[in-house]
Structure 1
Amino acid sequence: MTDFEVLKQNARNKTRRVLLENDGCDTVYECSTADPKELLKQRTLYLSDSKVDTYFYCTWSSGLGVYTHNTKVGSIFNTKDIIFKNNKTQEFIDQGTDCLKIMTQYCNTNNIEIFWTMRMNDVHDNHGAEYSKTMYQSNQFKLDSPDCMIATYGDRPPYGAGTAADFEKEKVRQLVLDSFREVMENYNVDGILLDFFRHPVFFKEPAYGTPATQAQLGIMTELVRNVNMLADELGRKRNRPFLMAVRVPDSVPFCKTIGLDIEKWLKEGLVDLLVTSSYLQLNHWEYSVALGHRYNIPVYPSLDESRVRDENARKSRHTLKAFRGRVMNILNSGADGVFIFNNSGLNRDNLISCIHEPLNNPTLYADYDKDYFVSIRGVGAVAGSCFPHNKYINIPVLNPHHPIVIKADNKDYTFMEMGNDALGCQPKTYTLKLFFKESFPKEVNVFFNGECFSLDNTEGNTATFKIDEKLIKAGTNIIFMHNPSREDVTLLDALVQVRLR
């Protein structure tokens, strides 16, 4: 190995347990004045004494080629129309700086690794919202090259948006390369993230309901290869590597269906960090871990907000206790760390609390109250839609919109993943809560990991059971229900509460 290859390997394999993404909305929406301290105050100042190892900053990138840093190859998003009246992009640039310089300088000073995020095909410019047309009209590339879009602003394909860039077009791929070159040549970032989840429609075939072709898979792989070569070229020039991360769906078959040959990228060594999932989780986290580690690539499952449709169910998944349960599941899977996208559904105070808790240490984190759900995301849905993903789901999706109906005189079951809370030293109680559509029929028998439980309490349509801690498993736990009655029973949701005694 050359000296540079050793540097890159060491950088790739460094310990990073907590990764946090900022989508860049602080620059556009949240600053009252164009003051770097005001910008940092919104989402960044509290990182310096937190557990965050790596910060990802997205300079809008919505749609492709529109940025809030001082770009020469794309369009500067400096509009103040509609909901963008607080946009401070141009003011920062007029001061001789920009949001990415401010973030990079802060992270460099505070010894926090920083990556620049490019949303590979964001289509908020065609969401049908009031702001969409303003965003579309801010994109000079799309206005000048309408043939480089999958359809048009007014024409919506079955899956995705008409304004999505068509990656079969060489001009699109060149814009991507030029954008990465510009950032790596002008900003002291440690790496780049190709976020393929914003939004995952890249070719006409998947947008119109057929899988990506082999040729399209090759086109995207060649682009990823070229970005990797560019990063290495520029990294060698500064004698410090630019690491390359990707965020993709957690399913090799689904990735290939939409045009991403992720396993080929890993096999060729084109990826340094693998981040999986976003709107969707298709497999258990162990699937992603096995995939990345097969090629000696660190893996960071992404925690994003839940978008289950029932409001109360969604709120219960956006608590700090539920977030802790999600983190413990990731740590138990063998993943190298956790990727927090924006706030993962947490409010600001809870986000600040969580990144100051020991979520980088499962032994310490075990001794915190937490909630585990059968499913956080449910079936999931991509904003703007994408190729149908339901057949690729291999995990439970229980939530009020996708309940389990236990037929009369029948039985059914589901799985619940739990972290290794036994690592802690504090005694705990474990409570199973089942939420039904109707009042809980007391003749229904409930088993947890093979043991039948007596009902502890009912409140409305909620049944509560105390669980002996000896029955709890780190990993997969089975909830089994037998309904001997003459009526169907509908289970809407299930969680296990872990509380310190």
Structure 2
Amino acid sequence: MSEPKRIVLNDDGWIMSQIMTPVTTAVLKERIVDTYVDSGLDTLSWCMGDTGRQRYETLDILAQPNYLPQGRENDLAAQNLRRLIDSDGGPVTIFTKFCHEIGLKFLPSVRMNSHYDRSVADDVGSIRQDHPEYLLGQADEEFVPNTTQWGIRTGLDYARPEVRSHVAALVIDLFERFDTDGVELDFMRHPAFIRVEEAYGSRHLITDMLRRIRARMDEVSASSGRDLEILVRVPPTLADSARIGLDVETWIREGIVDTVAAGGGFIPLHAPVEEFVDAAQGTDCQILGAIESLRPATEEESVQAIASRLYEGGASGLYLFNFWHKSADWKRRVLNVLTDPDRLARATKRYEMEYMERLTPNDLHSYAFRYAVPAVQLPVGLGFNLTGRGTGLSLTIGDDVERAAADGEIAWCTLELGFSDISAEDEIEVLVNGVPLPSETATRRFGTWSRQEWTKFPDRLAEVDYDGGVIEYELDGPPFRKGENEIEIRTVMRTVMKGEILSLRHVELQIEYDV
């Protein structure tokens, strides 16, 4: 019997501003905490705001009994915060109590930066409003629109000692004054902290800030007897983390952090969780694979596939972001499968490779995501290669398909490829791990095909059409294996009527077990 996996789930604080019903202590218990009863969840992290604006019982707010932010008297979040403070101490106090009562750990989550537009957003926080000199972009600077520097210019600049001192004090307060189980530092909201040209060379600055936080946490732990944790969520590779100023390898090696959630969840199948696992060898640091509730991780079959791949890479658990909206039934059903590797092994899976369109910035703060997240394999152009070899793609899976097939446990297995600018006259050859797939039994559909894609918040998902076709292979005795697989696609013949390069936009492997 396999050891259960740890699941941490982040709630982004939606309830404070997104429902018209007044938020009370009872509402927090019923709408949030009680939905995790018997779910297998280990830790709830709850977003208390960011480094600029906080939505919890800070000392500043407690010192002002009638406090509401200036100009925000009609703001739902401010009203709900005041109500919760007056009734039961405030949301961090309330969540800590209720989580501990049902056996959950509780971590307040700090968003380590924000890059919303100060000219239009009323949620940017006083430090950014009061100290524009602390920002990554200065008032007298001009940036080329739609560049990275332009997109991140409204965030706090951690090269400033005033910013690091402010953030360290904010973080320390969350485990010093409250009975929490530590703190989460969310470096993926939003991942830009030092000017682009200075970030790598200045990565020691944030490390120094974390050493200060770690030292104080150790003091609090020793005096109180509490087992306290620093969890960090960081970009999906060690190199990208270091490039933007986050020396995660040093944090792990020195024991500065206890848990690393690797990746923002944007590219969970493509993210090399193995390199974080390797960096943590010989330490007590726990590595979690990150999944965000974005397409394709919106259906449980896809979540199960991603979890299986991350466990195959050595992750000791999962970090789930933006899954707070799922029903209590979904949480009990799905999370209990994700914690149990034996049940997960025979759960239906849908491995869908990530594509670059989902990483295209569509509003100001998403430029930081594109800055921190590496490119992925799709879409890819399929021209005629000079060597005769096809285009190779890598797909890592956690399923032991070979053994399951030998034991007669595979109900069905399909590989689906979606193309743009393909026609019936085009001939494609596909090989998996060097084994050609039988083209004569493949199903072909030409014309318009569609898939759901992330669009723009809050619309989230929409059907996006492509002009081309889909080829689906039903696989008996699938040539896929546990771990990394190579999918090679060769253009054998291309219609002379087509001038465009054939483009592969969609790769999906589905596995269902007969159990």
- Pairwise TM-score range, normalised by the shorter structure: 0.7 to 0.9
What is the rounded CA distance, in whole Å, between the counterparts of 1:490 and 1:466 in structure 2?
Answer: 22
**In structure 2, what is the equivalent of residue 323 of structure 1?**
303
Select which of 30, 36, 40 maps to 1:51: 40
Partner residue of 2:191? 200
**Other structure's SS at 1:495 match:** strand
Q: Secondary structure at the match of 1:439?
A: coil
Q: Tell me how far 1:375 sits from its aligned partner.
A: 2.4
Pairwise CA distance, 1:406: 3.6
Instruction: Give the conservation status (yes or no) of the 8 Å contact 1:439–1:462.
Output: no
CA RMSD of aligned residues (A): 3.2
Mapped to 2, the partners of 1:362 and 1:465 lie a distance apart of 28
Matched letter for residue 178 of structure 2: Y
In 2: Cα distance, 1:114 partner to 1:154 partner: 43
Closer, same or farther: CA 178–152 of 1 in aligned 2, 3 Å: same
* 1:107 to 1:388, Cα distance in 2 relative to 1, 3 A: closer
Q: CA deviation at 1:469?
A: 3.7
Which residue of the other structure, out of 78, 85, 98, is the alignment partner of 1:106? 98
CA contact (8 A) 1:435 1:493 kept: yes
Cross-structure match for 2:359: 380
SS in 1 for 2:206: helix
Q: Which residue of 2 aligns with 1:453?
A: 437
**Aligned pairs for 1:396-435 within 5 A:** 396-398=376-378, 402-407=379-384, 410=388, 411-422=390-401, 426-435=409-418
Counterpart for residue 341 of structure 1: 321
Letter in 1 for 2:347: Y
CA distance in 1 between counterparts of 2:173 and 2:503 reads: 55
User: Which of residues 202, 205, 208 is equivalent to 1:222?
Assistant: 208
- 2:175 aligned to 163, 172, 184, which one? 184
Distance 1:497 1:465, change over 3 A: same
Q: Counterpart in 2 of 1:234?
A: 220
Query: Taking CA–CA contacts closer than 8 Å with sequence separation of 6 or more, which of the two structures ends up with the larger relative contact order?
Result: 2
1:71 paired to 2:50: no
- Counterpart CA distance in 2 for 1:86 and 1:428 is 53
CA gap of 1:275–1:406, structure 2 versus 1, over 3 A, is: same
- Structure 1 CA distance, aligned partners of 2:73 and 2:430? 56
Unaligned runs of 5+ in 1: 1-13, 307-313
Corresponding residue of 1:9:
none
Deviating more after overlay: 479-488 vs 426-435: 479-488
For the structure 1 residues 49 and 169, does the alpha-carbon distance in structure 2 shift closer, same or farther, using more than 3 Å as the test? same
Closer, same or farther: CA 412–498 of 1 in aligned 2, 3 Å = same
Give the CA deviation at 1:356: 3.9
Deviates more, 1:106-115 or 1:348-357: 348-357
Q: Report the 3-state secondary structure (helix = DSSP H, G, I; strand = E; otherwise coil) of the residue aligned with 1:121.
A: coil
* Aligned-partner residue type, residue 225 of structure 1: R
Give the superposition deviation at 1:120. Answer: 0.9
- How far is 1:84 from its partner? 4.7
Whole-angstrom CA distance in 2 between matches of 1:232 and 1:291? 23
Change (3 A) 1:212 1:189: same
Q: Deviations over 1:14-40 (max 9, x none)?
A: 975211111111222136123222123
Deviation at 1:374, TM superposition (A): 2.6
Residues 298, 440 of structure 1: alpha-carbon distance in 2 compared, 3 angstrom cutoff: farther
Separation in structure 2 between the aligned mates of residue 70 and residue 440 of structure 1, nearest angstrom: 64
Instruction: In structure 1, give the amino acid aligned to 2:135.
Output: M
- Checking the alignment, whether the CA contact within 8 Å between 1:67 and 1:77 is kept in structure 2 is no
**How big is the shift at 1:283?**
3.9
Matched-pair contact (CA < 8 Å) for 1:429–1:469: no
TM-score by length of 1: 0.82
Instruction: Tell me, in whole angstroms, the C-alpha distance in 2 between the residues paired with 1:272 and 1:114.
Output: 15
Change (3 A) 1:469 1:227: farther
| Cα 1:57/1:390, change in 2 over 3 Å | closer
Letter in 1 for 2:58: T
> 1:453 & 1:343 partners in 2: Cα distance?
37
| Equivalent residue, structure 2, for 1:245 | 231
Kindly report which structure 2 residues correspond to 1:351-370, keeping only aligned pairs within 5 A, or say none.
Answer: 352=331, 355-370=334-349
One-letter code aligned to 1:68: R
- Decide whether the 8 Å contact of 1:427 with 1:500 is kept in 2: yes
User: For 1:484, what is the secondary structure of its paired residue?
Assistant: strand
Distance 1:103 1:388, change over 3 A: closer
1:65 CA drift (Å): 3.4
* 1:8 corresponding residue in structure 2: none
Shift of 1:263: 1.3
| CA distance 1:442–1:266, change in 2 (3 Å) | same
- Deviations 1:95-126, CA, capped at 9 Å, x for gaps: 24222222111111011111111111123354
Kept in 1, the 8 Å contact 2:241–2:372? The answer is no
Q: Which of 373-382 and 140-149 deviates more?
A: 373-382
**CA distance 1:229–1:388, shift in 2 (3 Å):** same
Q: Cα gap change, 1:90/1:317 in structure 2, threshold over 3 Å: closer, same or farther?
A: same
Query: Counterpart of 1:38?
Result: 27
Report if aligned partners of 1:191, 1:242 keep a CA contact under 8 Å in 2: yes
- Contact 2:114 2:154 (8 Å CA) reproduced: no
SS in 1 for 2:507: strand
Q: Secondary structure at the match of 1:329?
A: helix
Which amino acid is the alignment partner of residue 190 of structure 2? H
CA contact (8 A) 2:4 2:341 kept: no
Q: How many residues align?
A: 461
Instruction: Give me the whole-angstrom Cα distance separating, in 2, the residues matched to 1:101 and 1:116.
Output: 10
Residues 154 and 494 (structure 1), Cα distance of their counterparts in 2 relative to 1, 3 Å cut: farther
Distance 1:397 1:343, change over 3 A: farther
Please tell me whether residue 24 in structure 1 is matched to residue 5 in structure 2.
no
Q: Secondary structure at the match of 2:493?
A: coil
1:70 aligned counterpart, secondary structure: coil
Q: How far, CA to CA, are the matches of 1:249 and 1:237 in structure 2?
A: 34
For 2:262, the equivalent position in structure 1 comes to: 276
Give, as a single letter, the amino acid of the residue that structure 2 aligns with 1:332. Answer: E
Aligned counterpart, 2:498: none
Q: TM-score, normalised by structure 2?
A: 0.80
**Match 1:172 to one of 160, 163, 178:** 163
